[in-house]
Chains A and B, each alone.
Chain A
């Protein structure tokens, strides 16, 4: 349809559009394969708006309309309204505290009748726009800590709200904004610090606090011993080492227990620990003892359910083998063994029906899309478009990686959708808007945006 309207299609990166369309199609096929039973009539149920694949199909049609509108919009509109839309987004998120509907344990949904809207999901777009706007402002000097702090505030305040709503998974997505910031000159020290923090976290989950403290002390002593000459010459080094040791000790001894006891909910902590294969040492033992048998049973069932999800997901993907079982022939898919298969676990139906070849192709398409977006971002003349492009790429990257890692058992269960494939209006519309704003910005890249 784009070809028929050359004025819309002018300058549009058709490769991106095709990648987008292919992914949505794959998504439709996958949702269809999850829900279709041989007794259903294909056409009726596709148009019936009862089955999920039918709904997704109509969402797709809506998205085409939406994309057309975006392409018709003047790209200046996005820069102009970036901050405003960000405010609206935050307000929407705040509104869920009042009028929110609870779905699957998180009160982050606004019921709209025909669908449920998740503002945190939409807020990704606004955050990407606002961050781009802020970083592209001439008065912003990203070398300065003040600018860095403001950028961080823009990027992470929706995340904080999201955690407050009990939607940890989506909050994590906002960490992906570190990538565009890094591109714009965030010192690599932050990333190194973050990475080592991550290693520390994993280690502290695997080993007991006491062992770690001893380990750190020994490590610090060894470092001091081997560098005793430099230390003697330079007292500052000693201070650095000691303070690093103190930080690690505090992190392991205080921060981690505190986080797991008070910040995370029990089930989240359990999930993280089950991921690394250790029982949760911070579980409230008194609570367990005082629990009634029914409560204990429920709790046990919950944790079984977690393991069950991942196990079933791995079975479905693993049983696909090299070439897969064939379309609509997956026994795991047809037997409803994988919970949430049409949303967060949609990748399992690819794995089972189309096997390794299918998964590999899908990953290639995603990688191609991400690299294409980065390529588009790099050819932009305006900082706004570039930052925005990187933002889109990072969000998609984060979603894809975390989602697939969950399904193949490399990450704890985090409720994150697979972009464009997973069933869900919010998610599909969000990604459509994200991608098409980028396409529009790219189409107008000759214009100088501010």
Chain B
């Protein structure tokens, strides 16, 4: 009997060991027996100012298969619908089984197109229960516009996970990569829910653990109402097609962004769904940088648009009055070397703005810098800087779009570095007076500066989002409520500048922006620029606001390397935009024709085409050399589509191609392989000469 008891004690001891002292079995049981399922809530919907959804959710379907339930299913008719043959079908089933096992559901055909979905849905009953359709939520862009504003989702990378380690992201999750999707990720994402499921030995989820006692519910993302006018945005994108540049329009009363075009842009729908990988590579390698949001991410010299600000400073500092006159005799002779001006005559302030006279504003800035009120040039330039900062230049505005640039307003320290302390004067940077040289602004900053002038002395930080449904929990909109009025400038000064700007459109350099019946204030700009030290065609600028009496829109347009003047292309484009916004539509037949003309105009600088071609040919040369060396003729045949030729012919052709590439680098694109070279950055203001040539007009 003792033996019986002893044996039972041994068993009991092992039970104690297993059940009371080893926690590893509990962990193992938890690992294999339960599953933590993350429930993704719908992301928030984004509306434009007229409550039209511009970014919402839609469902596409994946065709799922459970291999061990395939018996008795009419596979041949399924194959017919899917357009595959039975061999492919079987191959796919085998693949699926290897990957995921027989009893678990796997994706058979992902992201079905609408037509296929429609036919499948009709006959789905035939293929049950082995096949079923599973919905998958994706982002949709009803207007297929404003890609640069809305942004897109991308799978999170390890870097992101590290940064947001406390927010519950895991590998495989999607998060906003650019645009509003990124800025407002926290708002749009909502709150993930977690469901605990029981899992069986074949890794199938069977039922909720404890009837969902430990689950947390998912909370849908918040909807957002933006100030964007999607129709204006669409028109802007249409006008800017085949051009590099951007248009930014702001409602000066609220700081709400009405449109923000960046060209070239991308169709946002290309970056969701199955074809994303293909498109993103193309976009990344395009030398025209379609993924760069030029409205905030590119900065340029402001050119003559800067003159309006110089006028404000000059008047407020009292170095000129509205009646002060300067004459242009072909150049500004204030410094030894003449700086050309092209409008012969004598001008007062209003007239000088209207004709964009260089000499006038050179004189104005010279007087500001040499103002005897200040003990040194250092302090006078610093005071000038203070004005510029008050106008919203030289620092990031805090727009709710990622990757904003700060631009540049030259400080005394900068000149100290270049010329040595005390070894510079106004003549060292006289081109700044007409918006060339060391000044750098983004289109957004210029548009904001126009809002500042329109408001006669204040601006509200430009922003896209007006309100968030359910409240601004993360206090992301707080900074968009304050009026920035750093310096009090009397209205009379603004009136004078407005007069000059109205003249620009009425009878000055920007007449192309004119719309009958509306008083528009504007200013043209033509900006010299260099790329890798080589002079490029001028950038055309036009900025302004309207109507003058009660401004509801402040706008800025850049057409990069358009050549000619700011009034040539930028001004008419702004004209159409203003008409669309203020009159709601463009009805006049002639105007419509003009609109189409400008929309179809191709102003992409030849540099971009050269770069594209050289990218292709370099790649081609590399590929073909490699393939010939390795003897992969068959692959070449496939890629080139020269099946009829025999191998030697193919070889000869490849060699010829190679030589051609070497000689001329003019080879046409004949390879459809994925590009491998990175493009050079082509920011318009990459490198600036310390002293650009002073031959700027307008």
B and A form one assembly? yes
Interface residue ranges, A against B (CB under 8 Å): 37-38, 314-322, 329, 331-332, 334-337, 351-352, 355-356, 359-360, 363, 366-367, 370-371, 374, 397, 401, 404-405, 408-410
Contact A356 B199 (CB under 8 A): no
Which of B5, B199, B200, B202: most chain A Cβ within 10 A? B200
Q: For B25, give its contact among A319, A322, A331, A334 (CB under 8 Å).
A: A319
Instruction: Using A315-B25, A331-B33, A337-B200 as known contacts, say yes or no to A37 and B206 having CB atoms under 8 A apart.
Output: yes
Q: Mind listing 8 A-B residue pairs with CB under 8 Å?
A: A317-B19, A318-B24, A318-B28, A334-B33, A334-B200, A374-B1, A397-B7, A405-B11
Contact A360 B198 (CB under 8 A): no
Q: For B20, give its contact among A336, A356, A409 (CB under 8 Å).
A: A356
Q: What are the 3 closest A-B residue pairs judged by CB atoms, nearest first? A: A318-B25, A331-B33, A319-B29
- The residues of B that contact A316 with a CB separation of less than 8 Å are 29
The smallest C-beta distance from A338 to any residue of chain B, in angstroms, reads 8
What does DSSP make chain A's interface, helix, strand, loop or mixed?
helix
Instruction: Using A331-B209, A335-B33 as known contacts, say yes or no to A320 and B19 having CB atoms under 8 A apart.
Output: yes
Q: For B206, give its contact among A335, A352, A410 (CB under 8 Å).
A: A335
B22 at the interface (CB under 8 A from A): yes
Contact B4 A404 (CB under 8 A): no
A208 to B342 Cα, complex, angstroms: 106
Instruction: Using A331-B34, A335-B198 as known contacts, say yes or no to A370 and B4 having CB atoms under 8 A apart.
Output: yes
Contact A367 B4 (CB under 8 A): yes
A366: nearest chain-B partner, CB-CB: B8
What 0/1 pattern do residues 11 to 40 of B give for CB contact below 8 A with A?
110111011101011101110111000000
What 0/1 pattern do residues 188 to 209 of B give for CB contact below 8 A with A?
0000000000111110001101
Q: For this complex, into which size category does the number of interface residues on chain B fall?
A: 20 to 34
Contact A401 B198 (CB under 8 A): no
The smallest C-beta distance from A388 to any residue of chain B, in angstroms, reads 18
Interface residue ranges, B against A (CB under 8 Å): 1, 4-5, 7-8, 10-12, 14-16, 18-20, 22, 24-26, 28-30, 32-34, 198-202, 206-207, 209-210
Contact B4 A371 (CB under 8 A): yes
Instruction: Using A315-B32, A331-B209 as known contacts, say yes or no to A356 and B16 having CB atoms under 8 A apart.
Output: yes
Instruction: Using A321-B26, A322-B19, A356-B20 as known contacts, say yes or no to A329 and B1 having CB atoms under 8 A apart.
Output: no
A371 to B513 Cα, complex, angstroms: 108
Contact A335 B11 (CB under 8 A): no
Q: For B33, give its contact among A337, A371, A405 (CB under 8 Å).
A: A337
With A316-B29, A335-B199, A410-B11 given, name 4 new contacts (CB 8 A): A320-B19, A322-B19, A331-B30, A334-B198
Q: For A336, give its contact among B16, B18, B201 (CB under 8 Å).
A: B201
- The residues of B that contact A352 with a CB separation of less than 8 Å are 29
Q: For B14, give its contact among A370, A397, A410 (CB under 8 Å).
A: A410
Instruction: Using A331-B29, A331-B33, A335-B199 as known contacts, say yes or no to A318 and B11 having CB atoms under 8 A apart.
Output: no
A398: nearest chain-B partner, CB-CB: B7
Q: For B32, give its contact among A337, A359, A397, A409 (CB under 8 Å).
A: A337
Contact B1 A371 (CB under 8 A): yes
Contact A356 B200 (CB under 8 A): no
A336 to B10 Cα, complex, angstroms: 28
Contact B11 A367 (CB under 8 A): no
Contact A408 B4 (CB under 8 A): no
The smallest C-beta distance from A195 to any residue of chain B, in angstroms, reads 11
The smallest C-beta distance from A227 to any residue of chain B, in angstroms, reads 31
The smallest C-beta distance from B581 to any residue of chain A, in angstroms, reads 61
A37 to B207 Cα, complex, angstroms: 9
The smallest C-beta distance from A370 to any residue of chain B, in angstroms, reads 6
The smallest C-beta distance from B411 to any residue of chain A, in angstroms, reads 67
- The residues of A that contact B7 with a CB separation of less than 8 Å are 397, 401
The smallest C-beta distance from B463 to any residue of chain A, in angstroms, reads 50
- The residues of B that contact A337 with a CB separation of less than 8 Å are 32-33, 200-201
A315 to B34 Cα, complex, angstroms: 13
What does DSSP make chain B's interface, helix, strand, loop or mixed?
helix
- The residues of B that contact A318 with a CB separation of less than 8 Å are 18-19, 22, 24-26, 28-29
- The residues of B that contact A37 with a CB separation of less than 8 Å are 206-207
A296 to B24 Cα, complex, angstroms: 31
A363 to B9 Cα, complex, angstroms: 10
A111 to B14 Cα, complex, angstroms: 38
Q: For A38, give its contact among B4, B14, B207 (CB under 8 Å).
A: B207
Q: For A332, give its contact among B8, B15, B29, B206 (CB under 8 Å).
A: B29
The smallest C-beta distance from B195 to any residue of chain A, in angstroms, reads 15
Contact B199 A359 (CB under 8 A): no
A430 to B26 Cα, complex, angstroms: 36
A98 to B20 Cα, complex, angstroms: 49
A335 to B18 Cα, complex, angstroms: 20
A318 to B29 Cα, complex, angstroms: 9
The smallest C-beta distance from B592 to any residue of chain A, in angstroms, reads 66
Contact B206 A334 (CB under 8 A): yes
B19: nearest chain-A partner, CB-CB: A356
- The residues of A that contact B1 with a CB separation of less than 8 Å are 371, 374
The smallest C-beta distance from B31 to any residue of chain A, in angstroms, reads 9
Instruction: Using A335-B33, A337-B201, A351-B19 as known contacts, say yes or no to A329 and B210 having CB atoms under 8 A apart.
Output: yes
Q: For A367, give its contact among B8, B18, B34 (CB under 8 Å).
A: B8
Contact A408 B24 (CB under 8 A): no
A363: nearest chain-B partner, CB-CB: B8
B32: nearest chain-A partner, CB-CB: A337
A37 to B11 Cα, complex, angstroms: 31
A319: nearest chain-B partner, CB-CB: B29
Contact A331 B4 (CB under 8 A): no
- The residues of B that contact A329 with a CB separation of less than 8 Å are 210
A401 to B12 Cα, complex, angstroms: 11
- The residues of B that contact A317 with a CB separation of less than 8 Å are 15, 18-19, 25
Instruction: Using A316-B29, A332-B33, A335-B198 as known contacts, say yes or no to A360 and B15 having CB atoms under 8 A apart.
Output: yes
The smallest C-beta distance from A401 to any residue of chain B, in angstroms, reads 5
A390 to B231 Cα, complex, angstroms: 96
- The residues of A that contact B207 with a CB separation of less than 8 Å are 37-38, 334
- The residues of B that contact A320 with a CB separation of less than 8 Å are 19
Contact B206 A314 (CB under 8 A): no
A122 to B149 Cα, complex, angstroms: 81
Q: For A335, give its contact among B25, B26, B200 (CB under 8 Å).
A: B200
A249 to B334 Cα, complex, angstroms: 118
Contact B30 A319 (CB under 8 A): yes
A316 to B26 Cα, complex, angstroms: 8
Contact A319 B11 (CB under 8 A): no
- The residues of A that contact B11 with a CB separation of less than 8 Å are 363, 401, 404-405, 408, 410
- The residues of A that contact B20 with a CB separation of less than 8 Å are 321-322, 356
A355 to B52 Cα, complex, angstroms: 60
The smallest C-beta distance from B98 to any residue of chain A, in angstroms, reads 14
A356 to B17 Cα, complex, angstroms: 10
The smallest C-beta distance from B255 to any residue of chain A, in angstroms, reads 56
The smallest C-beta distance from B582 to any residue of chain A, in angstroms, reads 65
- The residues of A that contact B15 with a CB separation of less than 8 Å are 317, 351, 356, 359-360, 363, 408
Q: For A321, give its contact among B19, B32, B209 (CB under 8 Å).
A: B19
A335 to B29 Cα, complex, angstroms: 10
Contact A314 B18 (CB under 8 A): yes
A316: nearest chain-B partner, CB-CB: B29
- The residues of A that contact B33 with a CB separation of less than 8 Å are 319, 331-332, 334-335, 337
A370 to B201 Cα, complex, angstroms: 36
A410 to B17 Cα, complex, angstroms: 12
A236 to B220 Cα, complex, angstroms: 93
A351 to B17 Cα, complex, angstroms: 13
The smallest C-beta distance from B1 to any residue of chain A, in angstroms, reads 7
A37 to B204 Cα, complex, angstroms: 14
The smallest C-beta distance from B11 to any residue of chain A, in angstroms, reads 5
Which of B11, B29, B34: most chain A Cβ within 10 A? B29
- The residues of B that contact A38 with a CB separation of less than 8 Å are 207
A32 to B29 Cα, complex, angstroms: 20
Q: For A363, give its contact among B12, B22, B28 (CB under 8 Å).
A: B12
A360 to B12 Cα, complex, angstroms: 7
Q: For A410, give its contact among B10, B16, B202 (CB under 8 Å).
A: B10
A75 to B525 Cα, complex, angstroms: 120
